Structures are given as structure tokens and as C-alpha cells.
Amino acid sequence: MHKGSKIGSKRKRGLAHDCPASASSSTIEADTEATPESSELQMLSTITTTTAVPLVFGHTPLEISLFDPSITGLPHVEYPDPAIDSHFIVMQSQTTSAAFRYIAELLNLACQQDSGFNITAPISSLPPPLAPTADQLVIPHRPYIDMLPWASFRDRMLKSSAVVNEIEFIVDMANSDLGVWGTMPWDPMGWEIGPNFASKWWFLMDEKTLRTSNFWRGQRGEAPLVATPNIMGGILEQLFPGKPHFTEDNLLSLAGKVYIVTGGNAGVDLELVKMLYAAGGTVWIFHRSSTDISSALKEIEAVPTSNSGFIKSLLLDLSNLTTIKGCASKFFAQELRLDVLWNNAGITRAPIGSVTAQGHEMHMGTNCLWHFLLTKLLLPLLVATARTAPKGSIRVVWASSGIIDMAGPPGGVSLAKLQPGNYAKDIGHNYSASKAGNWFLASELDRRVRSQDIISMTQSPGTLKTKGWDDAPWIMRAMMSPFMYEAKCGAYTELWAGLSGEVHKEDGGKFGVPWGKWHSSPRRDCLDSMKSVEEGGTGIAARLWEWCEKETKAYA
């Protein structure tokens, strides 16, 4: 943060301190006659030296003299609300690590335990901003959450803990994009959040959290951080999507049409296959287990219909690139057209350290590389079909997830984390990156095939009651259960993406959400990733495509 910068003028309001690690500390008063022309606050030469009384947090000494006027002998000052008093002056920021250490001492945190209720100080003795919320009292959590000075931030963190990379967040708590002004580190009015922290952890913040940061930015003449109600609205529209408007009742006969649904044996995939089959389509299931396929076929063929289609299947291993080319060749031997490819198969919670047969991180290897190669091999048939098919009817639909709105690396995908030995050790991070990767690959494919009348897009089927949640922590399942819908609803999202006349060629590369509409406010950093540097973006999607090309070249 900016240190020693001029925040106000004319009226002295007290002292501010940096937090050195020395055995003594100094206090410096602000010049009451600081002029507007000064780039820094003028300082008086009077310096009072006191003997520090060290406190211990873990193994790190904390100088209470930096926070407690009774130790330094300085008069206690009741600080006004800086949002009300425009003459409020702060000379210099504390370091965030010192502020968090002080809060930890105030709470008397049980820092050695991994999870639980960590505050051992009497709650009645705590400043109101640090008083534990109802969620803090009942949801087990790690001690660092209790140190956050914003109650709303703590509650949102508790509700998002399953999808937040805790190590990454803790590192960001101590970095230079957070700052503390004033002498009371527990007071949220004294905290300033910088743009990098805000853009990364926006889903944990509310308007009140941003308001104080924007006050400090305004005193320096800087533009305010942009609030994110539009982004939160995007999340809410996925959690409360309303009623489906494009269902199996909207389908005309699909006789003569050929479709591939990767996965296809359970959950949303199976529900989609049932709808296509019941409307007369020829549907291929690509899956790795013959037992699962047999079970699915029995359920599909039991669907009551007067216009049944055909169900076919092929075996292949989603985690092994060597199985894809042979599978595609068998498909070509039996079909002369392909109308829609739904890239649905994937994994959600592979254990940390899991890799594919080729050594790629399991989520990225299965959800992205596997589908990239399959799509590349099937593309000639899609192009041939598009020459004689109705405009806009030939499509590639990639399955993404709403998790990318709540978690994941900046830009959607960290290219550095694709390298062996550098895979992220966080399941939520890996899964989110792979789902953002699906969106990026859909966008890059659109650049290449739109001129050939093929639509490539991605969609999030929704928060559904499927087996994908089986391995999720119970607390996460409990929190999400009010927002979960039947798998059939998610199939309506996919049906809309693949067959609805509302989807046009110009919609290529877009992100569909439940139960068939466009995302109203996608993450800006993800949108930038899908633009080239020349277009004002970062070019991450293009580089991901190039990486997929390189990694699959030997298996094409």
C-alpha cells in the first residue's frame, strides 16, 4: 500500500505507526500545517522513544507499544469515522502482518488447532467488529478466518471454504495489496483493500467492505474500486434460474440426426440422452465402463416414446489420450454425419496428485485435453455435415461449471500450473481451471469454425443432485443443498445449447447458464483471457489452445 502518503490536511487527529521488529518503537506526529503542494506529510522532529513490551503470537514477538497508548504513555484518542470526517489524517500504514498479529492476540486464538472454534478470549471483551458471528460459532474453521476484521467477509469465507485455496488466500492476506490505516487494526474502517485482492476475492466482499477502501482511495485522488453487484447477480441467476423454457416438449423429430454425448451413462448426461433418444435421434455414448453403459442402455430403452431413436456406444478411457483416435475411427466407420457433439464427460474431485496416463494433472487432462483431441478428430465430419445442414444447427457444446464465477486462478487458467511438478495442490483450483479451460477452448474453436457454420459454445448445466457431489465435504453439500436441482433440469440447459433456435452463429464462444440463457456478467478477467493481446486482452485462451495442440500432437 502507499505508505507515508498525504491523506488529509489542516487538522491533527492522532498517531499512526509502522511496525518494525526492533526492541523499541517510535511515534511521530503529523504536521498540522501540511500544505497541498507537499507530496508527503511533513513530520515534526519530536520523537518519543519507549520501551516495548513484547507479546508472543506463535514464535513472533509483538510490540504492544505500537497499539496500546497506555504503554507508550500517549493519550487515548477516539478516532472518528473517516467517511464522515473529511479532515481525518493518517500518516503511515501499519503492516498487515502486525495488524493480524494484534487481532490474534486480542482474540486469544487457539492457533495450533486445524479446525474448530478458535476464539478463547471472553466474547464480551471483544470489540464489536471482532465478535464472532452465528456461523463462526457453529461451522468448524481454521483460525485465520477469525482474524478478518469484516463480519460479512468471515461469513462468506465460511460458506466458500470448499472452493477457496486457503494457502493462496492466507498469502494474499499478508501481501502489499491490503493495508491498515490508523491505530486500531480491529476496526474495519481502517482497512484498505487493493485492486488485485478485490479482483481475485470479489465474491467474498460486499458493498460495505468496498466502501471503506474507496474512501482511502478517494483521499489520494484514485478511482474507486468497482463494486460487483453485476457479478453477484450472475451467480444468483445460476442459483435461482427459474423455470426451464426449452424442454423435450419443444423438440421436433430428430430422426436421421446423429449426436455424441461423452459420458452419457448417468446424471445430466443420461437425462440428455433420454430426451434425444425419445425424439428419434441416433445417440452415441462414449464411456470407459461397459457395465455402466449396459446399465444406462436399460434405463434409456425403458423411456416411453412413439418415436424411439437408436442408442450406440463406444469404450474409451477419459484419462488416456491413446484411446481416442481408435474410438473416433470406429465412429467414422459407422456414421456419415455428426450434428452435435456434447463434450460432457469429466471429473470433479480427483485427489491431489492424480495424473492421467500421460502425466497431466487429472482435471485438466480429462476435462480439457481429452475433449480437445476428440473434437479435433471429429471436426472434419462436423464440417462436412454443416455443408448441407440448416444454418447454425451443427454445434460443439462444452460443459463448464458455475464454479468459475466463485473460485479459480486469475484469468481462469494458470498456464504455469500446467507444467509437471507445478500442479496446484487444491482440488477446487484444479477443477475450476479445467472448467474455465473448457470455455476457453470453446471460444478458440469458435474462432476457427464460425466461418464454416459451426457453433462452438460452453454452458454450465446448473447445481444438480448428481454423483459429482458424492466426494464433496458434507458441509459443502449441506450449504449447497437448497440450491440443488434434479439432473433433468441440467439436461434442459444442454438441450437448449445444442438444439434451440435461440442460439445463433454469432453466439459462438459465449457461456450459457441454467436453464437456457446467456451469462449476464461473466468474469472480466476470463473475458480478457479470450482476447488477444492486440485486442486488449491477455491471450491466455490462445496459449491454452497451443498447449493442447502440443500435448496431443502425438496422439492425433
Cα dihedral across residues 28, 30, 35, 39: positive or negative: positive
Nearest of 199, 153, 197 to residue 177 by alpha carbon: 197
Contacts of residue 272, Cβ cutoff 8 Å, sequence gap at least 6: 261, 264, 342, 344, 491, 494, 495
Nearest of 392, 403, 399, 406 to residue 508 by alpha carbon: 392
Nearest of 294, 400, 413 to residue 346 by alpha carbon: 400
What's the DSSP call for residue 483?
G
For every residue of 404-452, DSSP letters joined together read: GGTSS-TTS--GGGGSTT---S-HHHHHHHHHHHHHHHHHHHHHHHGGG
Contacts of residue 2, Cβ cutoff 8 Å, sequence gap at least 6: 93, 179, 220
User: Does the annotation count 259 as an active-site position?
Assistant: no
Active-site pick, 274, 435, 510, 517: 435
Q: CA-to-CA distance for 300 and 269, rounded, in angstroms? A: 11
Written as nine digits, the cell of 103 is: 487481532
Check whether the bond before 515 is cis (ω within 30° of 0).
yes
CB 157 within 8 A of CB 176: no
Q: CA-to-CA distance for 208 and 502, rounded, in angstroms? A: 39
Q: Which amino acid is at 125?
A: S
Q: Which amino acid is at 367?
A: N
Q: CA-to-CA distance for 189 and 36, rounded, in angstroms? A: 24
Q: Looking up cell 460452453, which residue turns up?
A: 458
Q: CA-to-CA distance for 226 and 207, rounded, in angstroms? A: 10
User: Does the annotation count 312 as an active-site position?
Assistant: no
For every residue of 463-496, DSSP letters joined together read: SB-SGGGTTS-HHHHHHHGGG-B-HHHHHHHHHH
Percentages (nearest 5) of helix, strand, coil residues in the chain: 45, 15, 40
CB 50 within 8 A of CB 17: no
Active-site pick, 431, 488, 510, 517: 431
Active site residues: 431, 435
